Amino acid sequence: MSAVETIDLDAQRAKPRPRQAEKSTLIGLSKPEMAEALSSIGVPDKQIRMRVNQVWNWLYVRGVSDFSEMTNMAKDLRGKMAEAFDIARPEIVTEQISTDGTRKWLMRFPAHGAGRPVEIETVYIPEEDRGTLCISSQVGCTLTCSFCHTGTQRLVRNLRPEEILAQLLVARDALGDFPNRDAPNGAFIPESDRKVTNVVMMGMGEPLYNFEAVKKALLIASAEDGLSLSKRRITLSTSGVVPEIYRTGDEIGCMLAISLHAVRDDLRNILVPINKKYPLEELIKACRDYPGLSNARRITFEYVMLKDVNDSLEDARDLVKLLKGIPAKINLIPFNPWPGSNYQCSDWETIERFADFINQAGYASPIRTPRGRDILAACGQLKSESERMRKTERLAYEAMMIANHGD
């Protein structure tokens, strides 16, 4: 592929069936919640467990998005579910394909209090031995990390569990990763049976500021009788929300990544302002206390390489000292530029010298190959145009929608 490919799905095909506001979704419900939902439409108590297992299998093993495809259930029951519930995929506004095979989807979700429909970005990064899906947890972000493009977009709202899971379902649809589905012609995909082998909560937003929704989505994603992703292949990245780091270990049990980027509080206060609330001493203690920590279950520390900011050998020495005794991998991330950024990427020789020092100290220190830069899909580049409306704008917008019957 010689140039970036942007697929405007609105122009290529009919728009997906719009979600109806009065319908609740079955996506993202726990099994007990799904049992309550089916009971509410008259499914007999003695059938509830069987029906829940059937629906669960169709949603997460077979990947259907229409009740009519659930062929092992009676037609009248499928009709009742279709009248009461929604399992449709979100609207996919665009799909961009990078020259390196990276894919980025712009997805549109209902307003849910934000005033107008909101949009988020999800990125798929294929390699020979794995396919990693980078999932967003919020529309925008509150953290304002100075080197991050997403941080320039104010928080609009948290994503719901079904909206977090929908990103995984959309990707598996598009890549032919459900049974009896075909991968797109010419797509760069891993050689493994699965196209999406790993999930990282590293997209838009701070996952631990949306803890309950993220927890619910990841527990469903890792359920053995459904999407069945190993918790060792799910990584949650946080900028350092210390109380929820403890909860992540206890209640989710996935792999942990820390968006570190500096080894001194004065500099980290600038790069990652949440450090003012949870300084390095508290953050590193939470990492040392993370359950199951071992050489087989290491914490990943992410460190963006900023020219003349945090890339000296002194910084490398202090990094080794800071992490002493923690089973860790240190990902060095060449800074990915975005419009209006005030930073530059460290010279490649500087990055390699920094990595060599870390490696000699006994830590794995891979240099992350920039992926999807040409479609602004690389680390720190994600952003959508969604903005929270002022009250007066929202009221005017709602009045217009009513007048035009929602068109």
In a domain, 365, yes or no: yes
Residue-range definition of the domain harbouring residue 37: 31-84
Q: Is there a single domain that holds both residue 54 and residue 129?
A: no
Q: Is there a single domain that holds both residue 80 and residue 118?
A: no
pLDDT at residue 213 above 70? Answer: yes
pLDDT at 404: 45
Q: What is the mean pLDDT of residues 13-17?
A: 44
Write down the mean pLDDT value for the chain.
88
Question: How many domains are there within the chain?
Answer: 2
Q: What is the mean pLDDT of residues 47-55?
A: 98
In a domain, 80, yes or no: yes
Model pTM score: 0.85
Q: Is there a single domain that holds both residue 200 and residue 257?
A: yes
pLDDT at residue 321 above 70? Answer: yes
Q: Is there a single domain that holds both residue 75 and residue 96?
A: no
Residue 33 has which token pair? 């919640």
Q: Please report which confidence band the pLDDT of residue 185 belongs to, taking 50, 70 and 90 as the band edges.
A: confident
| Coil, helix or strand at residue 396 | helix
Higher pLDDT, 336 or 389: 336
Direct distance between the N- and C-terminal alpha carbons of the chain, in angstroms, rounded to an integer: 37
Where would I find the H helices in 66-221?
75-84, 161-175, 211-221
In a domain, 183, yes or no: yes
Paired sense of beta strands 91-97 and 5-8, if any: antiparallel
Annotated catalytic residue 121: yes
Q: Is there a single domain that holds both residue 43 and residue 176?
A: no
pLDDT at residue 226 above 70? Answer: yes
Q: Is there a single domain that holds both residue 73 and residue 168?
A: no
User: Which CATH number does the domain housing residue 64 bear?
Assistant: 1.10.150
Q: Is there a single domain that holds both residue 349 and residue 368?
A: yes
pLDDT at 405: 44
Q: What is the mean pLDDT of residues 211-231?
A: 97
Q: Which residues are annotated as a binding site?
A: 141, 145, 148, 205-206, 237, 259-261, 336
Q: Which residues are annotated as a binding site for [4Fe-4S] cluster?
A: 141, 145, 148
Q: Is there a single domain that holds both residue 245 and residue 110?
A: yes
Q: Is there a single domain that holds both residue 77 and residue 164?
A: no
Q: Which residues are annotated as a binding site for S-adenosyl-L-methionine?
A: 205-206, 237, 259-261, 336
Q: What is the dihedral angle through the alpha carbons of 391, 392, 395, 400, rounded to the nearest 10 degrees? A: -140
Q: What is the mean pLDDT of residues 170-185?
A: 92
pLDDT in tens, 108-150: 999 887 678 999 999 999 999 999 999 999 998 888 788 887 6
Q: Is there a single domain that holds both residue 289 and residue 350?
A: yes
Q: Of these residues, 91, 121, 244, 302, which one is catalytic?
A: 121
Q: Is there a single domain that holds both residue 205 and residue 134?
A: yes
Q: Is there a single domain that holds both residue 80 and residue 120?
A: no
